Structure 1
Amino acid sequence: MPTPKKRFARRESFSPGCLTGLALILSAWGSAATAQPKVSDDVIRIGVQADMSGLYSDMGGPGITEAVKLAVADAGGTVIGKKIEVIASNHSAKADAAATRAREWFDTQGVDMIISGPSSGTSLAIAKVATEKKKIVMVTGGVAAQLTNEECSPYIIHYLYDTVALARGTASAMSKQGGKSWYFLTVDYAFGDSLERQTAQVVKANGGKVMGSVRHPLSASDFSSFLLQAKASGAQVLGLANGGGDTINSIKAANEFGVSQSMKIAGLMLFLTDVHSLGLKLTQGINLTEAWYWDSNDKTRAWSQRFQGKMRKMPTSMQAASYSAALQYLLAVKAAGTDQSEQVMAQLKKQKIDDMYTADGFIREDGRMVHDLRLMAVKSPAESKKPWDYYKELQVIPGSQAFASKAESKCKSWVGG
Structure 2
Amino acid sequence: MAAGLASALPVPAALAQGAVSDGIVKIGILNDQSGVYADFGGKGSVEAAKMAVEDFGGKVLGAPIEVVNADHQNKPDVASNIARQWYDVDKVDTIMELTTSSVALAVQQLSREKKKINMVTGAATSELTGKQCSPYGFHWAYDTYSLAVGTGGALVEAGGKTWYFLTADYAFGHSLEEQTAKFVKSKGGQVLGQVRHPLSTSDFSSFLLQAQASKANIVGLANAGLDTSNAIKQAAEFGIVEGGQRLAALLFTLAEVHGLGLKSANGLVLTEGYYWDLDDKSRPFAERYMKRTGRMPNMVQAGTYSTVAQYLKAVQAAGTDDTDAVAKKLHELPVDDFFGRGGKVLANGRMVHDMYLFEVKKPSESKAPWDYYKHLATIPGDQAFMTVAQSGCQLAN
User: What range describes the TM-score normalised by the shorter chain of this pair?
Assistant: over 0.9
Residues 35 and 302 of structure 1: CA distance in aligned 2, closer, same or farther (over 3 Å): closer
Quote the residue 2:380 is aligned against: 398
Q: Which of 235, 240, 244 is matched with 1:259 structurally?
A: 240
Quote the residue 1:296 is aligned against: 278
Quote the residue 1:144 is aligned against: 125
Kindly report which structure 2 residues correspond to 1:37-116, keeping only aligned pairs within 5 A, or say none. Answer: 37-116=18-97
- Please list every run of 5 or more consecutive structure 1 residues that lacks an aligned counterpart in the other structure: 1-30
Take 1:35 and 1:241, find their aligned partners in 2: how far apart are those partners?
Answer: 47
Take 2:391 and 2:291, find their aligned partners in 1: how far apart are those partners?
Answer: 41
Whether 1:206 and 2:198 are equivalent positions in the alignment is: no
Q: Give RMSD over aligned pairs.
A: 1.3
Take 2:145 and 2:116, find their aligned partners in 1: how far apart are those partners?
Answer: 26
Are the aligned partners of 2:347 and 2:388 in contact in 1 as well (CA < 8 Å)? no
Could you list the per-position Cα deviations for residues 131-184 of structure 1 after superposition, in whole angstroms to 9, with x for gaps in the alignment?
000000000100100000000010100001111111011111100100000000
Could you list the per-position Cα deviations for residues 298-323 of structure 1 after superposition, in whole angstroms to 9, with x for gaps in the alignment?
23211111111121111111000000
Q: Which of 168, 183, 186 is matched with 1:187 structurally?
A: 168
Which stretch of the first structure deviates more once superposed, 94-103 or 399-408? 399-408
- The alignment partner of 2:364 has SS state of coil
Residues 34 and 87 of structure 1: CA distance in aligned 2, closer, same or farther (over 3 Å): closer
Take 2:18 and 2:284, find their aligned partners in 1: how far apart are those partners?
Answer: 33
Q: Which of 106, 123, 135 is matched with 2:116 structurally?
A: 135
Residue 239 of structure 1: CA displacement?
Answer: 0.2
Residues 33 and 221 of structure 1: CA distance in aligned 2, closer, same or farther (over 3 Å): closer
- The alignment partner of 1:123 has SS state of helix
Kindly report which structure 2 residues correspond to 1:335-346, keeping only aligned pairs within 5 A, or say none. Answer: 335-346=317-328
Quote the residue 1:24 is aligned against: none
Whether 1:353 and 2:338 are equivalent positions in the alignment is: no
AA aligned opposite 1:183: Y
Residues 343 and 185 of structure 1: CA distance in aligned 2, closer, same or farther (over 3 Å): same
Residue 33 of structure 1: CA displacement?
Answer: 7.6
Could you list the per-position Cα deviations for residues 358-399 of structure 1 after superposition, in whole angstroms to 9, with x for gaps in the alignment?
221111110000000011111111111110001111111011
Take 1:125 and 1:36, find their aligned partners in 2: how far apart are those partners?
Answer: 32
Take 2:178 and 2:92, find their aligned partners in 1: how far apart are those partners?
Answer: 35
Take 2:15 and 2:51, find their aligned partners in 1: how far apart are those partners?
Answer: 32
* Number of equivalent positions: 385
- The alignment partner of 1:349 has SS state of helix
Quote the residue 2:196 is aligned against: 215
Quote the residue 2:313 is aligned against: 331
AA aligned opposite 2:306: S
Could you list the per-position Cα deviations for residues 255-311 of structure 1 after superposition, in whole angstroms to 9, with x for gaps in the alignment?
111112221111100010111111111111111111000111223211111111121
- TM, length-normalised to structure 1: 0.90
AA aligned opposite 1:402: A
- The alignment partner of 2:216 has SS state of coil
Residue 37 of structure 1: CA displacement?
Answer: 4.3
Quote the residue 1:372 is aligned against: 354
Segments of 4+ in structure 1 off by > 3 A?
Answer: 31-37
Quote the residue 1:229 is aligned against: 210
Quote the residue 2:294 is aligned against: 312
Are the aligned partners of 1:60 and 1:117 in contact in 2 as well (CA < 8 Å)? no
Residues 381 and 134 of structure 1: CA distance in aligned 2, closer, same or farther (over 3 Å): same
Quote the residue 1:26 is aligned against: none
Rg larger in structure: 1
Residue 406 of structure 1: CA displacement?
Answer: 3.1
AA aligned opposite 1:161: Y
- The alignment partner of 2:363 has SS state of coil
Are the aligned partners of 1:116 and 1:126 in contact in 2 as well (CA < 8 Å)? no
Are the aligned partners of 1:184 and 1:212 in contact in 2 as well (CA < 8 Å)? yes
Kindly report which structure 2 residues correspond to 1:267-282, keeping only aligned pairs within 5 A, or say none. Answer: 267-282=249-264
- The alignment partner of 1:240 has SS state of strand
- TM, length-normalised to structure 2: 0.95
- The alignment partner of 1:109 has SS state of coil
AA aligned opposite 1:192: G
Quote the residue 1:13 is aligned against: none
Which stretch of the first structure deviates more once superposed, 223-232 or 110-119? 110-119
- The alignment partner of 1:259 has SS state of coil
Are the aligned partners of 2:13 and 2:61 in contact in 1 as well (CA < 8 Å)? no
Residue 32 of structure 1: CA displacement?
Answer: 10
- The alignment partner of 1:186 has SS state of strand
Residues 376 and 81 of structure 1: CA distance in aligned 2, closer, same or farther (over 3 Å): same
- The alignment partner of 1:183 has SS state of strand
Are the aligned partners of 1:120 and 1:142 in contact in 2 as well (CA < 8 Å)? yes
Are the aligned partners of 1:145 and 1:163 in contact in 2 as well (CA < 8 Å)? yes
Are the aligned partners of 1:115 and 1:140 in contact in 2 as well (CA < 8 Å)? yes
Quote the residue 1:18 is aligned against: none
Could you list the per-position Cα deviations for residues 96-153 of structure 1 after superposition, in whole angstroms to 9, with x for gaps in the alignment?
1001111110001010011133111111111011000000000010010000000001
